[in-house]
Structure 1
Amino acid sequence: MRRWGCVLALVLAAHAAGAEELSGTLQKIKETGKIAVAFQEAAVPFSYLDGNQKPVGYALDICARIADAVKRELGLPNLVVETVPVTSSTRIPLMTNGTIDLLCASTTNNAERQKLVTFTNTHFLSATRFAAKASSSLRRIDDLKGKTAVAIAGSTNIAQLNKVNVDRKLGITIVPAKDQAEAFLMLETDRAQAYVLDDVQLAVAIARSKEPAAYVISEDAFSKAEPFGIMLRKDDAPFKAIADRVTAELYQSPEIEKLYKTWFESPVPPTGTNFNYPMSAALRAAFKKPSSSPDPDAYAAE
C-alpha cells in the first residue's frame, strides 16, 4: 500500500508540475475548458454572419485550425469554441482584459497596435486604391488629375488621398462621404469619378453592386500593402508559438490556395456573391515566408 501510495503521489506531482508549466492564454483555456474566438459581424469575407446568423469567414477558418491545435496540445477533446462578436472599438480592450483569446477578422497589424497586442502570421495584405467606372479609362492615380474623388470622412484613405493630391499636384476635388454606402452611390451616379478605399473592401462593394462588370479597381495604390493578422494577447509566447506554427504550416501548404479561393474567388453565403479577387503576388510571397511583422516593407513581392 505504501508503494502504491508513493506511485500515486508521483503521478499527482507530475500532473501538478505539468499544470504549473502552463501560463497565460493556455492556462486560462485549460482551466475553463473553452477558447473565446472573437469576430466582427460585417468584416466580409474575413468574418461575418451568414443567413443563419452563424459566424463564418476566411479568418474564422484560420482560427478554427488554431483552436484545433490548442485542443490537441492541451488534451481537451471537448474544448468549447465560444464565438464573441466585437467592434473596432471593443476588440483591443476585450483582448487585453482576457475576455477574448483570438480575434479573427480583417485587423491591420501595425506598430501602434503592437504596443498593446500582438499578431500571428499575416493572412492578408491590403492597400488603398480607387474604384472607377470601367468606361472612364481611369486606371492609375495620375489619371485622376482634375477629377472628383470620394472617400469616407475621417478615414485613413481620405488622408492618403489628400497627401498624394498635394504631393503630385493633381488638382483632385476630394469629397468626403459619411459611409461606404454614400461613397459608392456617388461613384455609381457619376457625382465622383473615383472612390478611394481599401482594395479588398472595394472588391466587396463592386461585387455587391447592381452591375459589377461596370467597375474596375486601380492598378496602383495610394499606400503600401498593410498586413492583416489574427490578434493575440501581448507577451504570451507559448500561445503565439502554437498560432504561428499552425498558420505557417497552413500558409506554406496547398491548403491555403483552396481556403483563399473559397472566400475570395467562389460564391459565398448568404447570397452566393463571388468577389472575384485573386491572390496578389505580394500575398503569395508572404505565404512562402510567414511573418508577423507589422512593417509593410517586409511584404514587398519578390
Structure 2
Amino acid sequence: MKKLLNNKLKHLFSVLTLLPLALLSHPLSAEQTSATFEHIKSTHTLNIGYRQLAPFSFRDKSGKVSGYTISLCNMIADELRLSLGLKQLEVHYIPVLFTERVAALNGSRIDLDCSVNTDAPERKNSVSFSTDYFASTMRIISLRQNNIHTLEDLRGRTVSVPRGSKDLLELNRLNREKHLSLSIITSDTSEDAFEMMAQKRTAALILDGILAYPLINQSEDPEAFTILHEDVGEKMKYAIMMRKQDPLFVAFVDKTLENIFESPLHAQLTNKWLSQTVIIKNKQKD
C-alpha cells in the first residue's frame, strides 16, 4: 500500500513538472549555453556532493546516501534526465569536506552540493545558490546536568561549534555585541563538536537544532541532553550550492524546486525527514 502511494505521488510530481520544464527547453537550445548541462549531457552523469549531516544528507549504515536535501537533488536528477533526453543518467554521490565544497564545484568535481549550505551574501562571489529550502535556527545544546537555560547562562564559559560554518560567524558576532566572554572551541565536524560537549570539555554546543537531534539520538542516553527553545542569532537559509556563471542551470534547479514545493510529495518529504524529536530509549529494569 505504501509503495503504491509513493508511486502515485511520484507520478503526480512528474505531471506537475513536465509543463514548466518544457518551458525551459527553449533556453537550452538558444544561443546561451550552460556548461553544467553540456557536461551532464556528454557524460550522462550527475555528481552530487554531500556530507554527514543528517537529516539533510548522510550515508546510512547500509551505505545508501539519503536525507531531505538528497531527496530533492534526486528529483532534480530525474528532471535533468527527462529534459536533456537521456535514456540513463548515472548519479554519483561524492563526499566533500565543508572546506572543499567551493573548489569541488568550480573544479567540476561535483555539479551540485546537496548538503547543508547557508545562503550567505559573502559566498555569492564564488558560487550560486538555489532558492532556499529550509530556514535554520541556532540553538544551545547541553547536558541537562549543566542547568543551562538561556544564552546568558553561558557567559564566561566554553562552547563548541563546527569550524567554518555560518553558525560560527553568527556566534562570534553575538559574543562581541553581548560581551559574553565566551571561549569558543571549533571542530572539523558537527559530530566532533557534539562529542566535546557530551564529554564535558565544553559547557554547550551551538548548532542548528534540527542537526542536533540525530546526534542526540545516536548517543547512549538521549534523555541526558537538552535543546533550548531560545533562538541564538538570526535565522539562516539553506540552499543547494552550484557553480558560478551558469544562470540557465540555476534557473532549472529553481524551477524544479518550485514544483516540488507545490506538490503533495513535499509534505511527505517534510514529515519523513524534518519532523525531528528526541527518541527515548527503553531502559532495562533491575
TM-score, length-scaled by structure 1: 0.70
**Which of 19, 28, 33 does residue 39 from structure 2 map onto?**
28
**Between 183-192 and 239-248, the greater mean CA deviation after superposition:** 183-192
Q: Contact 1:38 / 1:86 at 8 angstroms: preserved in 2? A: no
**Which of 173, 193, 196 does residue 206 from structure 2 map onto?**
196
Distance 1:76 1:217, change over 3 A: same
Q: How far, CA to CA, are the matches of 2:201 and 2:105 in structure 1?
A: 41
Give, in angstroms, the shift of residue 131 of structure 1: 0.9
Is 2:81 aligned against 1:80?
no
Give, in angstroms, the shift of residue 247 of structure 1: 0.4
- Residue equivalent to 1:55: 65
Give, in angstroms, the shift of residue 53 of structure 1: 2.0
Distance 1:134 1:257, change over 3 A: farther
SS class of match (2:121): coil
Q: How far, CA to CA, are the matches of 1:153 and 1:27 in structure 2?
A: 36
- Residue equivalent to 2:21: none
- Residue equivalent to 1:242: 252
**Which of 162, 169, 176 does residue 185 from structure 2 map onto?**
176
Q: Contact 1:109 / 1:227 at 8 angstroms: preserved in 2? A: yes
Give, in angstroms, the shift of residue 144 of structure 1: 3.4
SS class of match (2:108): coil
Q: What are the superposed Cα offsets for residues 252-277 of structure 1, whole Å, 9 maximum, x if unpaired?
A: 33322211222233xxxxxxxxx428
Q: Contact 1:123 / 1:228 at 8 angstroms: preserved in 2? A: yes
SS class of match (1:227): strand
Q: Contact 1:264 / 1:276 at 8 angstroms: preserved in 2? A: no
Give, in angstroms, the shift of residue 176 of structure 1: 2.4
Q: How far, CA to CA, are the matches of 1:151 and 1:163 in structure 2?
A: 15
Distance 1:231 1:183, change over 3 A: closer
Number of paired residues? Answer: 248
Q: How far, CA to CA, are the matches of 1:182 and 1:119 in structure 2?
A: 27
Is 2:104 aligned against 1:104?
no
**Which of 145, 151, 160 does residue 151 from structure 1 map onto?**
160
- Residue equivalent to 1:66: 76
- Residue equivalent to 1:93: 103
- Residue equivalent to 1:40: 50
- Residue equivalent to 2:220: 210
Q: How far, CA to CA, are the matches of 2:215 and 2:53 in structure 1?
A: 12
**Between 83-92 and 180-189, the greater mean CA deviation after superposition:** 180-189
Give, in angstroms, the shift of residue 97 of structure 1: 2.7
- Residue equivalent to 1:6: none
- Residue equivalent to 2:125: 115
Q: Give the structure, 1 or 2, with the largest relative contact order (CA under 8 Å, sep 6 or more).
A: 2
Give, in angstroms, the shift of residue 78 of structure 1: 1.7
Q: Contact 1:151 / 1:158 at 8 angstroms: preserved in 2? A: no
- Residue equivalent to 1:124: 134
Which amino acid in 2 is paired with 1:65? M
SS class of match (1:59): helix
Give 5+ residue unaligned stretches, structure 2: 1-27, 279-286
Give, in angstroms, the shift of residue 111 of structure 1: 1.4
Q: How far, CA to CA, are the matches of 1:84 and 1:243 in structure 2?
A: 19
- Residue equivalent to 2:277: 276
Which amino acid in 1 is paired with 2:269? L
Which amino acid in 2 is paired with 1:26? F
Q: Contact 1:35 / 1:67 at 8 angstroms: preserved in 2? A: no
Is 2:233 aligned against 1:233?
no
Q: How far, CA to CA, are the matches of 2:198 and 2:39 in structure 1?
A: 50
Give, in angstroms, the shift of residue 105 of structure 1: 0.8
TM-score, length-scaled by structure 2: 0.74
Give 5+ residue unaligned stretches, structure 1: 1-17, 266-274, 278-302
